[in-house]
Amino acid sequence: MKIAVVGTGYVGLVAGTCFSDTGNEVICVDNDQRKIDRLNKGEIPIYEPGLEEMIKRNTLQERLSFSTDIATAVKNSEIIFIAVGTPPDEDGSADLKYVLQVAQSIGKHINGFKVIVDKSTVPIGTADLVTKEIARHSDESFAVVSNPEFLKEGAAISDFMRPDRVVIGSNNERASEIMRNLYAPFVRTGKPIIVMDIRSAELTKYAANSLLATKISFMNEIANLCEVVGANVDMVRKGIGSDARIGPYFIFPGTGYGGSCFPKDVKAIIKTAADNNAKLQILEAVESVNKKQKTILYKKIESYFKGDLKGKTFAMWGLAFKPKTDDMREAPAIDLINALAATGAKIQGHDPEANDEARRIFGDRVGKEITLFNKRYDALNNADALIIMTEWNEFREPDFYLVKDMLKSAAIFDGRNIYNPERMQKFEIDYFSIGRSSTN
């Protein structure tokens, strides 16, 4: 099939590449000229395991190309995916300006029946808006379907190639059939393609992300309770996770959820409910628990140093919102860096993939409040303590003697619970984690 994917970010680039890998002819479109120039030179603008090799293979076979020319892409394709960003607006709702810009371009250049696919996470009713916008500019026939994406950054290729399910919202049988055929190679092991009405598909994505965010906030509250009653959240997690009704996934406590999806999607569904005179009380609590959780490590650091943080230096391992990605959108590390910097402390950060993104985010603060290091141990030089913000594998087993030697205070504040408290005690390292007793 001939496919256009508009928006070449984490979702669009992965989706377009994976569709080309199953033999389709795919043109990925973006209005960011620099991004397209880089892709045409073989440079991959994001870090995602396995992506670079897959892009190389498919561009070489001329199944995958990159362009800023949306007109040609629309004219030459049977299926057009809209995979642009839907960032939060000031009131928490999803900002649809990019989605509707693309719909307008499609309307201007459509030349025969096409399936238009909302791949971006969009509020209920967006397919109707996209339909109206296209129809405003054209009399051609087309069908808009909703096909929310469930991939996880860091495992995006394997999630896309082997999804747990594919959700398709459609009220047009011809479009449903085209979508079933397109996804057939991805569900050969029998995973379901669930075709439903459009509004249910749109809501499914928000419901899924909101439930996952709920699990995280729930577990963070239980972890905080563990600390005050002297329980160990690792044990509680194992104890509840082995119940098949609960399951072992997504019940790890930490410093609050971040990333480009959970914070904005929870806000957007709360707003959708409010707009419809409904109230999502659980999700309102999920959001406020998360906000508080993002301050939890700061409070531990402040208390350890008795409020005297001015002039202190903190090594921070991990800046991305989770491992195996360079994405720092809404990363808890940003909140902690800002809180520490506000007291006059300095941060020496290191992330295996997100240093460039941190440079972009912190701009001219880099080299002043925050310095970035390519090697993990270099970030420890002259630091008062070490903070762990992302559970990259390479942080799990450092040379603890060296870490202790390099730090002025031999203290580790671990927001991801990657070390064993008893082991830290043996190393005589003051160790603070989430939901477990501290060792100092």
* Residues noted as catalytic: 261
Q: Which residue has the tokens 């603008």?
A: 45
Interaction of residue 29 with ligand NAD, rule CB under 6 A: yes
CB 416, CB 347: distance < 8 Å:
no
Closest approach, Cβ 243 to ligand NAD, in A, equals 28
Identify the burial level of 3 via C-beta atoms within 10 angstroms of its C-beta, where 0-12 means exposed, 13-18 middle and 19 or more buried.
buried
- Residue of 48, 118, 149, 202 interacting with ligand NAD (CB under 6 A): 149
Cα distances (Å, whole numbers) of residue 102 to 43, 74, 134, 135, 172: 25, 10, 9, 13, 21
CB 307, CB 340: distance < 8 Å:
no
Among candidate residues 267, 218, 255, the one with its CA nearest the CA of residue 240: 218
- CA separation for the pair 437, 426 (Å, rounded): 15
Closer residue to ligand NAD, CB minimum distance, 154 or 254:
154
- Residue of 85, 107, 256, 352 interacting with ligand NAD (CB under 6 A): 85
- Residue of 17, 20, 120, 214 interacting with ligand NAD (CB under 6 A): 120
Closer residue to ligand NAD, CB minimum distance, 9 or 421:
9
- Residue of 153, 287, 357, 414 interacting with ligand NAD (CB under 6 A): 153
Closest approach, Cβ 252 to ligand NAD, in A, equals 18
CB atoms within 10 A of CB 437: 13
The contact mask relative to ligand NAD for 87-106 (x = CB under 6 A, - = no) is -----------x--xx----
Question: Angle 359-364-366 (CA atoms, 0-180°, nearest 5)?
Answer: 50
Closest approach, Cβ 6 to ligand NAD, in A, equals 5
Interaction of residue 48 with ligand NAD, rule CB under 6 A: no
Bridge partners of residue 169, in order along the sequence: 146, 196
Which range of residues in 134-142, 146-154, 171-179, 195-203 is near ligand NAD by CB under 6 A? 146-154
The contact mask relative to ligand NAD for 380-399 (x = CB under 6 A, - = no) is --------------------
Which range of residues in 1-9, 126-134, 220-228, 306-314 is near ligand NAD by CB under 6 A? 1-9
Residue with smallest beta-carbon separation from ligand NAD: 9
Interaction of residue 263 with ligand NAD, rule CB under 6 A: no
Which range of residues in 18-26, 79-87, 298-306, 338-346 is near ligand NAD by CB under 6 A? 79-87
Interface with ligand NAD in residues 299-328 (CB under 6 A): none
Q: Residue 359: how many CA atoms within 13 Å on its side-chain side? A: 10
- Residue of 5, 26, 261, 340 interacting with ligand NAD (CB under 6 A): 261
Contacts 24+ apart (CB under 8 A), 203-209: 203/124, 204/148, 204/167, 204/169, 205/121, 205/148, 205/149, 205/150, 205/167, 205/265, 206/121, 206/123, 206/265, 206/268, 206/269, 206/272, 207/269, 208/150, 209/121, 209/261, 209/262, 209/265, 209/266
Which range of residues in 8-16, 229-237, 270-278, 426-434 is near ligand NAD by CB under 6 A? 8-16
- CA separation for the pair 309, 302 (Å, rounded): 7
Closest approach, Cβ 120 to ligand NAD, in A, equals 3
Interaction of residue 83 with ligand NAD, rule CB under 6 A: yes
Closest approach, Cβ 20 to ligand NAD, in A, equals 17
| Residue 307 identity (one-letter amino acid) | G
Interaction of residue 107 with ligand NAD, rule CB under 6 A: no
For ligand NAD, the binding residues (CB under 6 A) are 6-12, 29-32, 35, 83-86, 98, 101-102, 120-121, 149, 151, 153, 260-261
